[in-house]
Amino acid sequence: MEDGFLRTTCGICQIGCGALVHLKKGKPVKIEGDPLHPLNKGKLCQKGYASLEYLYHPKRLTKPLKRIGARGQGKWVDISWDEALSIIADKFMEHKKAFGPESVAFIRGAAKGLQDSYLTRFANAFGSPNITSMAHVCFIPRYTASMITYGFYAIPDLDYPPKTIFVWGGNISDTLFHVYERLCTAVRKGACLIAVDPGSNRITKEAKIVVKPKPGTDLYLILAMLNVIIKEGLFDKNFVEQHTTGFQELVNHVSSYTPEQVSKITWIPADTIVRIARIYALNKPSAIQWGNGIDHTPDNFQTARAICILRAITGNLGIPGGDIQWKNPALIERGSAIFSLHDRIPPEVRAKRIIAGKTLPNQFYALPQALIEAMITYVPYPIKSCYIQGCNPLLTYPNPLKVRQALEAVDFLVVSDMFMTPTVSLADVVLPVATYLEFDSIVTAPYSLAVASIQQKAIRIGECRSDYEILKGLADRLGIANTFWSTEEECLDFILSPSSITFAQFRNIAVLEGRKIYRDDVQNTFPTPSGKVEIYSTTLESWGFPPLPEPSTGTEINNINQDDYPLILTSTKVGPYRHSGGRQITTLRNAHPLPRVIIHPDTARAFGISEGELVTIETRHGCITQKAFFDDDMHPCVILADFAWWFPERESDPMYGWDESNLNMLIHDDPPFGAELGTPRLRGIHCRIAKPSISIIR
């Protein structure tokens, strides 16, 4: 198309907002929200509006590169795609033959849509069980708990609207702006907003009631709410009797989690626990918008299970204005065996998947921290090659010094990315990947209304390729060509086949919408083995995991000298950025120029810190610097630090100041991990702050 506009879907984060790309002489010149898209209704967030800055950024990687200096030295030579793919295929085959397919590991970053599934399909077709992602710290804990408890992922019915809305552990005004807008509408219509968050953000400032639990103690708080609701008879007796299993076991289980006991652990006064439990149970319909904060402790799965049970016993599950099911548009499911090919891996090879201990048997990923360990120690076997797709683990994994050691230890490292990053700096071969404006796809939104929308190629920059094209090129050279369709569009046709349309037809339709399902629509049946909400999970019990939600023991919260580290660290993702991405985009950087730690002013004064000055944040594991900002709404014992900072503008440093303000330098990857999903503790870590010594200011 020469002039006009193209309907597409923003791919900078996983939300899937509809966008209109304006073209002049075939070139994108402007982007705006698609007013017809049901999710975002004409708006984009600041990241979305910066899409063309990403596209045309002068520092985009546009040609494949081969390293010619030492790792991390920043010396490269341009190579052709043919050479790049041949080098990779030869190395992968060499290692597969000598050490088995499991010696080739695959790492992918935060959710990007179908690209993630292409890599999974590729790894399974290649035969390696060692593909890892951020699943254990993002969404999957909540998703898995929901599936086990009631068989679907429930979404707040904000448009109805609810009378009570909890926002639990989520900075949604920054990370889910379309949900935030719906929430504001519900509040304008009278909904009571309750924020559960130890930090400070727009939601905590706008909420009617703010509850600030000690980071990492949310599970105790929910168990105490269940205790109150059961003791005071505030649960939905008919629903519990007819549509749940294991309620009596729950009654016994939560009896010791009294508000008074739990108050000592969570810092929340007992009368506040009673008050919010009563509001949630009585001021119905009530909905809980949960966030990624819940995923960041070893108790993530059990915390999510407890919230699922809270929704169910109060009768808020599946009702208008409560937390409801959405039926997705008819597509081939990305996680299905037919698409992911996870059944191609023989059981004896799957059993070699590198994890830490035992995790739920319905999980297929390798655990990042265990894989990193194996790269260094060769235990249980050597990891010889590693393919990293759109991920910056030096910034996003805990214990980055160890991550660097691991990435330097593998024989052969490939990274595909849009920009040079600290992780890319360690690669042997670098592959320049296309932005979302450069390839066709289908985007499904996982977190709210069930919508599938079109992503259309508007242009192609340099020699960049889509992940599909890269993996197809590799598959052709590895003897697994038949697992990929000859073009990306043929693959998209396959995904659309249950809807009986082709991708060419979808270009005109642009959006497929799912629909809400209230529990009355399905006669109160739930897609679980019993057909009921499984409060007491015999499935978990049969797998050897706690059938009712219970806190783990032996976490850092219990095992530290609090005089040395008197504060508690939690973290936040900042609106303009997606994880470690976006620091080189001028508009976004201007909106949030420097790493920031938010501190209560009284706490800062006690440590002799002034607003705006650089401070050190120190834990038992490491020390970084960020700039101090004050906020009266912070709990005086908690500090809130920015996540995933590096400095792409420091071009003379090939590692871009990767360890200076990087939150993960403060976080270790030692056990205990969450029993179900292997999650390490990322929040609720004891720390201290200070003015930096001269030597640490760089």
Interface residues with ligand SF4 (CB under 6 A)? Answer: 10, 12-13, 15-17, 40, 44-45, 47-48, 177
CB atoms within 10 A of CB 213: 25
Biggest CA-to-CA distance, the chain? 71
Residue 512 CB coordination number (10 Å): 20
Residue 6 or 366: the one with the smaller Cβ distance to ligand SF4 is: 6
Minimal CB distance to ligand SF4: which residue? 48
All residues at 6 or more sequence positions from 563 whose CB lies less than 8 Å from its CB, including other chains: none
Residue 631: DSSP 8-state: -
Do residues 142 and 288 lie in contact, with contact meaning Cβ atoms separated by under 8 Å? Answer: no
Query: Which DSSP string corresponds to 398-460?
Result: SSHHHHHHHHHHSSEEEEEESS--TTGGG-SEEEEBPPGGGS-EEEE-SSSS-EEEEE-----
Q: Is the peptide bond before 551 cis (omega within 30 degrees of 0)?
A: no
Least distance CB 19 / ligand SF4 (angstroms): 7
Q: Which is nearer to ligand SF4, 155 or 228 (CB)?
A: 155
The least distance separating ligand SF4 from the CB of residue 539, rounded to whole angstroms, comes to: 34
CB 178 → ligand SF4: shortest distance, Å? Answer: 7
Amino acid 185 reads T
Min dist. Cβ of residue 50 to ligand SF4 (A): 9
Q: For ligand SF4, give the closer residue by CB, 355 or 437.
A: 437
Q: Cβ of residue 323: shortest distance to ligand SF4, in angstroms?
A: 22
Residue 12 or residue 599: which is nearer to ligand SF4 going by CB?
12
Q: Which is nearer to ligand SF4, 48 or 198 (CB)?
A: 48
Tokens of 467: 């992940």
Residues 6+ apart with CB under 8 A from 209: 192, 193, 194, 195, 272, 275, 276, 279
Question: Smallest distance, Å, CB 452 to ligand SF4?
Answer: 14
Q: Which is nearer to ligand SF4, 48 or 382 (CB)?
A: 48
Q: Which residue, 162 or 576, is less far from ligand SF4 as judged by CB? A: 576
Using the minimum distance from each CB to ligand SF4, give the nearer residue, 438 or 618: 438
Provide, rounded to whole angstroms, the least separation between the CB of residue 203 and ligand SF4: 16
Give me the helix-helix angle, 218-231 and 259-266, nearest 10°. Answer: 170
Residue with Cβ nearer ligand SF4 (10 or 569) = 10
The secondary structure element, H or E, covering residue 629 is strand 623-630
For residue 438, the minimal CB distance to ligand SF4 (Å) is: 15
Q: Cα separations (Å) of 648 from 138, 300, 447, 596?
A: 26, 33, 31, 17
The least distance separating ligand SF4 from the CB of residue 132, rounded to whole angstroms, comes to 24
Residues 438, 671 contacting (CB under 8 angstroms): no
The order of strands in the sheet holding 323-327 is 155-156, 323-327, 515-517
